[in-house]
Amino acid sequence: MLSDSCYSGESDDRSGPELCKLFETDPSESWKVGSCTIVPDDATKIAEAVKSRCKLNKAQIEQQDLCDVVVTTGGTGLTSRDITIQALAPLYTKPLPSFSTAMVVGSLKITPLAALSQVSCGIIGSTIVLSVPGSRKGSSENIQQILPILPHAVATAQTESGSSRALHAKGSAMPGSSNHSIQDKPQRARKLCACHNHDSDKLDGKVPKTQGSLPVNPETTVAGRQRKSPYPLLPFSDALKIVLDNTSAMPVQERAVCLDLVGNVLAKDAIAVENVPGYRASIVDGYAVIASDGPGVYEVVSSTTAGDVDNYGTDTQALLQSGQIARITTGAPLYPGADSVVMVEDTEVVEASEDGVREIKIKVNIQAADGDSIRDIGSDMRIGQIILRKGDTISDVGGEIGTLVAAGIPRISVFRKPRVGIASTGDEVIDSINNSTKEKDISLPPLKPGQIRDTNRPSLIASARALGLDVVDLGIIKDDPETLEAKLSKATSQCDVVITTGGVSMGEKDWIKPVIENRLGGTIHFGRIRMKPAKPTTFATIPGQDDASPNKLLFALPGNPASAMVAFHLVVLPAIKKMSGLDLDPETMGLTKLKAIWGSDDVKLDKVRPEFHRCNIAWKDGKFIARSTGGQRSSRVASMSYANALAYFPQATEELKTIASRSEVDVYLVGKLQ
């Protein structure tokens, strides 16, 4: 480990044990971990530590106390203290740029932040040296990209003839080839040594090099805190793409067809197991006739009604004969022998019983055609027909539930909805949700100076529950690292998604980001977005409880209410949609964008950030009209009242400084249209 803080004992090494575990559990090779050493950020000491473990000449190839591979972690970032690569470059007898490329290309598929760490690989003597980032996640991802080819690379580097042809001629298989197996390994295990960097629980005020995070140190003075955020200000579209790239659909589960399915997304096609209708049925109320009889007066011999299952098709129900008709109701089985139905409106009563209860003779006024007003078997749905497809949502309109029931389907496969935990943070935040059912207990305690009522958590919980999500109320978390660590650790063990508000900016008690990285072992993929409001919006992934468990998503949203809700609708909900099984369009990324006419006063554009202006959109006179909800200060929660959309106003330029009234604007829909 190449780290001053780890070397002095002020922080702990977590990437080292993770890499050791990675090598020791490699199923294709037997690796033996020789030593794990922590080295300070000093070029001379780094070079000495690595060189002392390398096999510098042919005579040392079989020397057991030296290493086949040396891995260094840390010191690969962009700061002046990141000197690992510069310290080792003069020692390389042969650089391995293709190894570095493989690491970076593979890691960039996971996160664009991989580009911030300058990995380096080379050979010193006959030992392969790999320099990777200091974070537990980053270092592991880099090594995994080249681990399958590493045994072959070691064997090639140690070939005494100076040529790899003899090695290949002996059948030493390349990784991935059909003859690559355990028998290709040499009798002795490969030996690994490591010099590790930090992925620490505690930092002494330094910014971690791979993530650009803030330190977790409650004793840091206010004057000693950082004055500028180390997180780059990402464009909104880039940030949302990072979120979705790190989001996967939830596991599939079998569910009974019931009303609770609303909001679920099908994981498999739903296939009808029954014909609808299951018999030839009348579409109208009228008379079953033989079409070739034509218009005329006919004897009414019987009637069939919907649900009349006892008589239909029995021996007592004789076939309809020419010159006869039978009364029939909508949905009833077609009378045997009939081939069409005439509506009651196209007939007249000629003769009825004295009490008027029974029709005796009816005049048919039209010429019917074969099949008129009849639903044939399976004409709505037939056995084996796909009635709903994978990716379809069971909506609250009711059509999907009705279709499944009609087709006789008892169970379907759906993606499990994510479980979402929601918390507010802050010593000043007071819980004002009244859960009492007693009318006399509805009063709220008065606020003391400096206190505010918690509006974020109730607002977000209401939005999440309206979507049918399984929501866990995590309450209010106080502003200290230990409490945050305990609460968030428990939350990520219980939930698939954790949403917090507050504690993500540059205040002296804004501990969320450093706790995520340095206490929870998470990876912060971004810590700021170029948007107004909600600039400090932070997205992180937290490792699951074991290797088989998926990462948990953590969204740390700003504390101002309007900021939190805007970030929730624009950044969090697309991820929840993807987790729920929806196949999002890569262009829209789960957002619904419309064109509208700006129906309020002119708006001056921000010089630094694009703005998402809270507004109400409605259809009027053949077009969508968007109107502002008033003052747009991020603390003004009322700006989200009546808001069902967010108008997008670009950053000001020399050419465009104002959005004029009645101009056309892009609007993102966040609520129902009126």
Residues 337 and 427 in one domain: no
Residues 328 and 243 in one domain: no
In a domain, 230, yes or no: no
Provide CB contacts within 8 A for 40, sequence distance 6+: 2, 3, 4, 7, 8
545-579: per-residue pLDDT in tens? 777 789 999 999 999 999 999 999 999 999 999 99
In a domain, 443, yes or no: no
273-294: per-residue pLDDT in tens? 999 999 999 999 999 999 999 9
The CATH number of whichever domain residue 605 belongs to comes to 2.40.340.10
- Using pLDDT thresholds of 50, 70 and 90, give the confidence band for residue 151: confident
**604 half-sphere exposure, CB direction, 13 A CA radius:** 2
β pairing state of 270-271 and 120-124: unpaired
In a domain, 585, yes or no: no
β pairing state of 497-501 and 552-557: parallel
Residues 69 and 191 in one domain: yes
Residues 69 and 192 in one domain: yes
The CATH number of whichever domain residue 166 belongs to comes to 3.40.980.10
Q: What is the spatial distance between Cα 497 and Cα 422, in angstroms, rounded to a whole number?
A: 9
Tell me how crowded residue 67 is: count the other CB atoms within 10 A of its CB: 26
Task: Compute the chain's Rg from CA coordinates.
Answer: 35
- Using pLDDT thresholds of 50, 70 and 90, give the confidence band for residue 308: low
599-642: per-residue pLDDT in tens? 999 999 999 999 999 999 999 999 999 999 999 999 999 999 99
Helix axes 136-146, 15-24, angle to 10 degrees: 30
* φ, ψ for residue 638, nearest 5 deg: -65, -15
Reported for 243-246, long-range contacts at CB under 8 A and 24+ positions apart, including other chains, are 243/525, 243/539, 243/553, 243/571, 243/574, 243/575, 244/574, 244/575, 244/578, 244/584, 244/589, 244/590, 245/110, 245/111, 246/110, 246/111, 246/525, 246/539, 246/541, 246/551, 246/553
158-194: per-residue pLDDT in tens? 876 454 444 444 444 334 433 333 333 334 456 677 7
* φ, ψ for residue 352, nearest 5 deg: -135, 165
Asked whether the bond before 533 is cis by omega within 30 degrees of 0, the reply is yes
Residues 422 and 411 in one domain: no
Residues 336 and 402 in one domain: no
Residues 327 and 473 in one domain: no
In a domain, 56, yes or no: yes
The CATH number of whichever domain residue 393 belongs to comes to 3.90.105.10
Residues 572 and 606 in one domain: no
Residues 285 and 352 in one domain: yes
The total number of structural domains that make up the chain: 5
Q: What is the spatial distance between Cα 655 and Cα 658, in angstroms, rounded to a whole number?
A: 9
The CATH number of whichever domain residue 313 belongs to comes to 2.170.190.11
Q: What is the spatial distance between Cα 111 and Cα 364, in angstroms, rounded to a whole number?
A: 75
Residues 341 and 410 in one domain: no
Provide CB contacts within 8 A for 496, sequence distance 6+: 250, 418, 419, 420, 552, 553, 579
Q: What is the spatial distance between Cα 576 and Cα 110, in angstroms, rounded to a whole number?
A: 19
**Whether pLDDT at 316 is above 90:** no
In a domain, 154, yes or no: yes
Contact 419, 496 (CB under 8 A): yes
3-state SS of 216-260 is CCCCCCHHHCCCCCCCCCEEHHHHHHHHHHCCCCCCEEEEECCHH
In a domain, 338, yes or no: yes
Of 527, 496, 502, the residue nearest 423 (C-alpha): 502
Q: What is the spatial distance between Cα 209 and Cα 118, in angstroms, rounded to a whole number?
A: 11
In a domain, 441, yes or no: no
Q: What is the pLDDT of residue 490?
A: 96
In a domain, 674, yes or no: no
Residues 622 and 517 in one domain: no
Burial class (CB in 10 A: 0-12, 13-18, 19+), 27: exposed
520-548: per-residue pLDDT in tens? 999 999 999 999 999 999 999 999 877 77
**643 half-sphere exposure, CB direction, 13 A CA radius:** 26
Q: What is the pLDDT of residue 121?
A: 94
| Structural domain containing residue 123 | 4-171+181-196
Residues 136 and 148 in one domain: yes
DSSP state of 309: T
